[in-house]
Amino acid sequence: MGDMNWLEAMTMQTQIGKVMETNQYTEKFGLSLSDEEARLIVAERTNSLRTQKRVEFGESIVPRLIYEFCDSDYIDQGNYVQTMIRLQDIFYLFKNEMMDEITDDELIHFMKEQFETICYGDLEYLEGTCLEIFAQAVRAGYRGHHRSDGRDEYAQFDEVPRWDRELYMEVLRELCWR
């Protein structure tokens, strides 16, 4: 038991170091993590892995999420830590939901694209709508995401009508000419 605690502590320190290294890149987007914030994110990663009954070998997904999402229009210093914690929770949940039929990169790319475009930074919508719909397709056998690396996939599954600028302008013209 003592060896396991030592091993866990070493693993946690390594993960914290990797998360802190991301500051060199993310500072150009106005984002940085303190040592305490990095510890919190890594601790929450451990909790998320336990909750989802997952094991992660090798590199943590956290730095990859940070690098992918740090340039988001919807993440600032004020919501950075909580957003990263939530994104890793969502990531692990949907790795399970998609029965590991999607690679880490495919899922991360898909998450980022929807977060920026369809969800406009809304994590609830990302999890409860975009990823849920996509996970259903993957569980049903869809594999197109392998060709696209998870990019440009959602439109074919999207069930929610979207605002269309051209249609809006057409209706506006009609209303103005009446």
Residues 66-88 have pLDDT tens digits of 999 999 999 999 999 999 999 99
**CA distance readout (Å), 148 to 103, 140, 144:** 12, 18, 7
User: What are the tens digits of pLDDT across the range 30-63?
Assistant: 999 999 999 999 999 988 878 888 877 777 899 9
User: What are the tens digits of pLDDT across the range 86-114?
Assistant: 999 999 999 989 998 899 999 999 999 99
Q: Which residue has the tokens 């996509």?
A: 134
* Residue/partner pairs of 80-86 with CB below 8 Å, 24 or more apart: 80/31, 80/33, 81/33, 81/37, 81/40, 81/41, 83/123, 84/41, 85/40, 85/41, 85/44, 86/123
User: What are the tens digits of pLDDT across the range 139-150?
Assistant: 999 887 777 777
- Stretch 124-128: mean pLDDT: 95
Q: For CA atoms 116, 122, 127, 129, give the dihedral sign.
A: negative
CA–CA–CA angle 84, 86, 91 (5° rounding): 90
What's the pLDDT score for residue 38?
A: 96
pLDDT top residue among 170 and 125: 125
What's the pLDDT score for residue 164?
A: 64
For the cut 50, the answer to whether the pLDDT of residue 1 exceeds it is no
For the cut 90, the answer to whether the pLDDT of residue 154 exceeds it is no
